[in-house]
Amino acid sequence: MKYVSTRGQTDPVSFREAVAIGLAPDGGLFLPETLPDISPRLPGWRNLSYTELCAEFLGLFATDVPPEVLQQLIHRSYGAFTHPEIAPLRKIDDRLYVLELFHGPTLAFKDFALQFLGNLYGWECEQTGRTINVLGATSGDTGAAAIHGLLGKPKAASFILYPEGRVSPLQERQMTCTGAANVHAIAIDGSFDDAQRVLKDIFANKTFATQHRLSAVNSINIARVLAQSVYYLHAWLRLPEAERGNVEFVVPTGNFGNVFAGWLLQQMGVPVMGYKVATNRNDILHRLFTTAEYRSGEVHPSLAPSMDIQVASNFERFLYYALDENPTRVNNVMAQIKATGAYRFDLLNRSLFSSSSASDDEITSLIRRVYERYRYIVDPHTACAFKDINPQRISIVLATAHPAKFPAAIRDAIGQEPTSPVLEVLKTRPVVKHRLPAEAEAIKAFIAQRAI
């Protein structure tokens, strides 16, 4: 299978090439040239384990990775997850399920993609003999998951940008307390959107990116999106057959990558009825699906910091399909968004997508309400998903992080402070970070000195 850029000015590449490059040279995002129809395969996939399903699904896309190698990488990626089902689906009410995505090494859903991507990078370095320097921007969980996906990979280094003071203390410690020499946590002055802008500026300098063998670890990397699609598929297959035709996935998201991964399955023939986008006070996606206008605004710090985003990078992939896979139209729209910060759709499928937005006060109330009603503790991001659940649907809420990562928010809501042994260890380790301005030249100079 080949991969094309949303902007149409890059020649089609293989899966391994798309993963290694990350961001397409023309500034676009890679997507499969064609999406397979997987509906005939669904009955045969019904009883597969998570790793078996992952191998079957990713095998349709990673066609230049030998099947036995792909299976090894998958087993290595999910072997460290602490729950035997890897992504357990818990029923907490008659029509309400929670898909727990926090049983990985950094207790967040990003582990599903970044454990796999880290192992894929490691194998690629072994095959080619070349080193790789992974560059990412994070609003909280991506950075920790990317770093831990690359720990122990001798030919790989990670450079992770994050907004100083705008991630939770434990999220920061997961990035800055590893003690690994190949990990570089860079705290920038500004927001996540500033970090993401700097990242794109650096990748736009093709000479620099090639010279230092840079690869993108953000959700702009197609391997991340495809790896995340698997847990939607696994959850859907785990439902009673009578419920599968009326399913709505409720997804806390700021960057659109997580919900896009689920939406792709619907495009491949999985009969999902809808997707609900749950945001915090930084509600660009909620406004998109209620007004049909994409308009960025100011980023406001919140209790759900991983969603403190006003530039949803994966929106471009959705835009590509919404504009009939026409790269010329995508280029025109992206140019308009860059110039004005806004784009209005003539037609947007709001029957498939719904949305909601939760303020900080509502997040606190939702954590309390979920605990009182279900005796279940959710983190602030997952709490956003419990606002305005559709009673007519079978709802699957994606629990995107372990509540122990946000102890202050949980304590304020229910008077309890959840803990995790993984996080408690971090509290005793020294913080190692680098404070830099949100400027491409400053970050490039830093990378040039430390790239392997």
Active site (catalytic) residues? 110
Listed as own residue / partner, the contacts of 78-82 with beta carbons closer than 8 Å and 24 or more positions apart are: 78/50, 78/51, 78/54, 78/115, 80/104, 80/105, 80/115, 81/105, 81/111
Report the b/e string of 312-331 with b at 16+ CB within 10 A.
bbbbbbbbbbbbeeebeebb
Separation of alpha carbons 361 and 404, rounded Å: 19
Q: Which two tokens stand for residue 408?
A: 């202050």
Longest Cα–Cα distance of the chain, Å, equals: 58
Separation of alpha carbons 152 and 154, rounded Å: 6
**Eight-class DSSP state of 306:** G
What ranges make up the beta strands (E) of 291-393?
293-295, 342-344, 353-357
Q: Which two tokens stand for residue 253?
A: 């998201």
Q: How far is CA 132 from CA 23, 25, 354, in A?
A: 15, 17, 40
Separation of alpha carbons 348 and 331, rounded Å: 19
| Contacts with 215 (C-beta within 8 Å, 6 or more apart), sequence order | 19, 20, 21, 22, 121, 132, 133, 134, 135, 221
Angle value at C-alpha 372, between 167 and 399, nearest 5 degrees? 40
End-to-end CA distance of the chain: 31
